């Protein structure tokens, strides 16, 4: 019986790696098979192997201080949990529809970390991996700029003492 379960598991792993959909299952067995695939990772598709792997991303911030001096921040923290969250945001940067909003949020965070800064340039670089043939000919991974946005600190609007109208 144990051998049968091992064979079934290997079939699930092969199915996930080859992106073959599950065979028609009943409404009773489908949730169990899907849960097993998620729990064991056999349904992951193993996309951490090339060419399905997405490029590594790094973010840095160039700031201009109050008197014009250049500052640099790489948005790292001494807190490991914070660094995991930052890494998670970096992974989201590959989603085109969220790039500008994420860059604005990062710039706001930088203005919070550097209250005297006048401007922030958000730079995102991605690691371009050469193909195997190019690698064998000596090509190496190369960081290339994937996104750049500049943000200026806004002067807060004066607080009005008048009535608020609907």
Q: Which tens digit of pLDDT belongs to each residue from 115-158?
A: 999 999 999 998 888 888 888 999 998 999 999 999 999 877 66
Asked whether residue 26 carries a pLDDT value surpassing 80, the answer given is: no
Q: 10: pLDDT confidence band, cut at 50, 70 and 90?
A: confident
Could you tell me which residue, 159 or 89, shows the higher pLDDT? 89
Q: Which two tokens stand for residue 53?
A: 């792997």
pLDDT for 83: 79
pLDDT per residue as tens digits for the range 71-109: 999 888 888 888 788 877 777 777 788 889 999 999 999
Q: pTM higher than 0.85 for the full model?
A: no
Nearest to 112 by CA among 73, 150, 69, 163: 73
Q: How far is CA 42 from CA 20, 25, 47, 52, 89, in A?
A: 12, 17, 12, 17, 26
pLDDT for 155: 74
CB proximity list for 85: less than 8 A, separation 6 or greater: none
Per domain, the residue ranges of the chain are 2-40, 57-152
pLDDT per residue as tens digits for the range 54-66: 668 889 999 999 9
Q: 44: pLDDT confidence band, cut at 50, 70 and 90?
A: low
pLDDT per residue as tens digits for the range 121-133: 999 998 888 888 8
For residue 165, count other CB atoms closer than 10 A to its CB: 4
Distance CA 58, CA 98 (A): 16
Rounded to 5 degrees, φ, ψ at 38 are: -70, -40
């Amino acid at each position: 019986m144990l051998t049968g379960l091992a064979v079934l598991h290997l079939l699930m792993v092969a199915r996930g790696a080859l992106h073959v959909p599950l065979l028609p299952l009943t409404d009773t067995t489908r949730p169990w098979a899907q849960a097993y695939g998620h729990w064991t990772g056999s349904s992951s598709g193993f996309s951490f192997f090339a060419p399905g792997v997405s490029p590594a991303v790094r973010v840095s911030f160039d700031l201009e201080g109050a008197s014009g001096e250049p500052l640099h921040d790489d948005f790292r923290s001494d807190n490991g949990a914070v660094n995991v969250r930052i890494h998670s945001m970096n992974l989201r940067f590959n989603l085109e529809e969220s790039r500008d909003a994420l860059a604005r949020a990062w710039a706001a965070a930088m203005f919070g970390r550097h209250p005297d800064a006048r401007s922030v340039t958000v730079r995102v670089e991605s690691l371009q991996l050469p193909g195997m043939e190019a690698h064998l000919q000596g090509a190496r991974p190369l960081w290339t700029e994937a996104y750049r946005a500049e943000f200026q600190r806004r002067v807060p609007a004066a607080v009005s003492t008048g009535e608020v109208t609907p």
